[in-house]
Amino acid sequence: MIHAPNRQTRPLKVWGLLLSMLLVMGVGFSAQAQDAAELTPPAVAETTGAVAEEAEQVAQDAAEAADASAADGSTDATASADEEPPSLGDRLDSILNPINGAIFTTLFFDVSFGLFGEDVKLPFLVVWLGFGAMFYTVYHGFINIRGFRHAWQIVRGKWAGSADDGDIPPFRALTSALSATVGLGNIAGVAIAMVVGGPGALFWMMVLGLFGMTSKFHETTLAQMFRVKNDDGSMSGGPMYFLDRGLKQINPNLEPLGKTLAVVFAIFLMGAALGGGNMFQANQSFEACFDQFVQPFLADENVETARRAGSVGFGIVMAAMVSVVIIGGIGRIGAATSIIVPVMATVYVAACSFIIVTNAEQLPSLIGLIFQEAWAPEAGLGGVLGAMMVGFQRAAFSSEAGIGSSAVAHSAAKVDEPIREGFVASLEPFIDTIVICFMTGMVVLITGTYQDFEPNAAGAAVTLAAFESRPIMETLQFPKILTISIVLFAFSTMISWCYYGERAWGYLFGIKSVIVFRLVFVVCVFVGSVASLGSVIDSADAMLLACGLPNILGGIILAPLVKKRLKAYWLRYCSGEMKPGEVVAKIPSDDGPGANI
């Protein structure tokens, strides 16, 4: 087991590196703001559907923000005294729009190539996540399929040992990671994919979910191999640790690259935690509650006033609930999610199953439609790749396979053997994407609600409309139950993402200072409830996907370490010689390059 080193000098070094990066980024952002009108969208609409539209809108927002900023200077003197002051959301937009334009232009560039006589352009980050998942799957000999049964055995405790190192049992690590992925991505993300990319997008979500099982296996195994034990006895791990320590271990010359990738990943992870893992969740859960429980009883002229007042109260309550749990650390987070996730997932799956079973006669034709639309020969290669990219993007947001976030939770699991926890993690994309997302997609298909909404519609509204279209669901008050589920899923997502973000903060600034991140996180819960967050959501989306860049790059470099360990483990398991809790190889230490691997 690696123990955390003395970090008295680390914060100064990290601050220096951060300031250097911010200086470089600041120069880039200034140039982007000056040329904002010329920003190139990260994808072409014909081949990537909503991916391109979203990126183009971000670029346009950046241009408008730059123009508005210039105009403000000349109009402030003549502004009327009774002009309504800008809202918190407007202020955030004015700050983040130029930055978003720069981020999207820098990270979401296109990969262009000719294929079957057509000019194809695909967003690099989405292609990168798909490539990583497929590479890991082939490299490890389709262990996602070969080890599927064994993974369930581990979750049930058949191979449990007497591990001393770790903070929570493997099942709670699984539910903690699932709580960050099962939620709005399953309820809303699938609906968005189908509205934008058609039924074929569901097929491609399933494909990436299948290959993504190996991504989770790979990154979690590495996180366990290179986790560290803090002075207080808690565990810290995740991509920032295996990038930093792993690359140095296999080759000392890679130490600068490893540290750079680790810092970049930690920054992106904190941004994603505060945005998509926090403010977006609070915002969407409040909107769902207000629309379902309050707005139907109000006169039109009172809606906005009530919305503003309600958002403040909701934000205070949600922030208080989150703070109570996160103060207890991963132990309390795991205890909460081990209850919330199974109960809410069971309720949601039961409701989906009811609609699917009562419309079983439609299943053959609908499944045929999914496959037909996935390949869509009449739409040409562009149509096929468009559905594929939309499906891949939504699957990435839903399961976070290749992102590296859930590896942070699994690094806290009490296990003897890293490979064993990797198998546990591989079940997440199966549960999240192949089961829950598929069932959501079938409900939306059966009811046909995906055809009634525009591409920019809220995904949760599409799914909610699907359930409301069945009278028996209205009678059973399921729309209200679904709304409560959305809030609880959002709550469990927030507390898990707080842990991810604080571990990234702890890596950069020392584990003793994580209370600072927790305070910022709680404040952001309130801000997310009361503000309009268009630009914040764009930034969160970008940072979440961007985590895959350093995570997969480092993961591929370290792949031989995982393969060697997996081979030794699998030989003993298949021979029947494996014993519960057995460790097939010592966990790497700082004794030298490649030691004990």
Work out the angle at residue 43's Cα, subtended by the Cα atoms of residues 42 and 47, and round it to the nearest 5 degrees: 175
76 vs 419, higher pLDDT:
419
Please provide the average confidence, as pLDDT, over all residues in the chain. 76
Q: State CA 111 to chain mean position distance.
A: 23
Between the ranges 241-245, 310-314, 457-461, where is the mean pLDDT highest? 241-245
Q: Does residue 261 register a pLDDT over 90?
A: yes
The whole-number pLDDT of residue 585 equals 60
β-pairing, 228-229 vs 2-3, is: parallel
Dump pLDDT digits (tens) for 181-205.
676 667 777 888 888 878 888 888 8
Other CB atoms within a 10 A radius of the CB of residue 3 amount to 10
Q: Over range 486-496, report the average pLDDT.
A: 86
Rounded Cα gap, residues 473 and 460, in angstroms: 16
Model confidence at 457, pLDDT cuts 50, 70, 90, reads low
Q: Does residue 156 register a pLDDT over 50?
A: yes
Whole-number percent of the chain with pLDDT over 70 = 69
Q: Over range 568-578, report the average pLDDT.
A: 87
Dump pLDDT digits (tens) for 92-105.
667 767 766 766 67
Out of 51-55, 258-262, 327-331, pick the least confident.
51-55
Out of 35-44, 269-278, 300-309, 444-453, pick the least confident.
35-44
Report the interhelical angle of 363-375 vs 380-399 (nearest 10°). Answer: 110
The CA dihedral of 263, 269, 275, 281, to the nearest 10 degrees, is -170
Dump pLDDT digits (tens) for 61-80.
544 544 544 444 444 444 44
The whole-number pLDDT of residue 506 equals 93
Q: Over range 234-250, report the average pLDDT.
A: 92
Q: Does residue 264 register a pLDDT over 80?
A: yes
What kind and span of H or E run contains 85? none
58 three-state secondary structure: helix
Rounded Cα gap, residues 523 and 278, in angstroms: 10
* Cα 392 to Cα 179, 201, 367, 433, 549, distances in angstroms: 21, 8, 19, 11, 16
Rounded Cα gap, residues 502 and 405, in angstroms: 12
pTM as predicted: 0.79
The whole-number pLDDT of residue 27 equals 36
Taking the domains of the chain in order of start, what are their residue ranges? 32-62+90-575
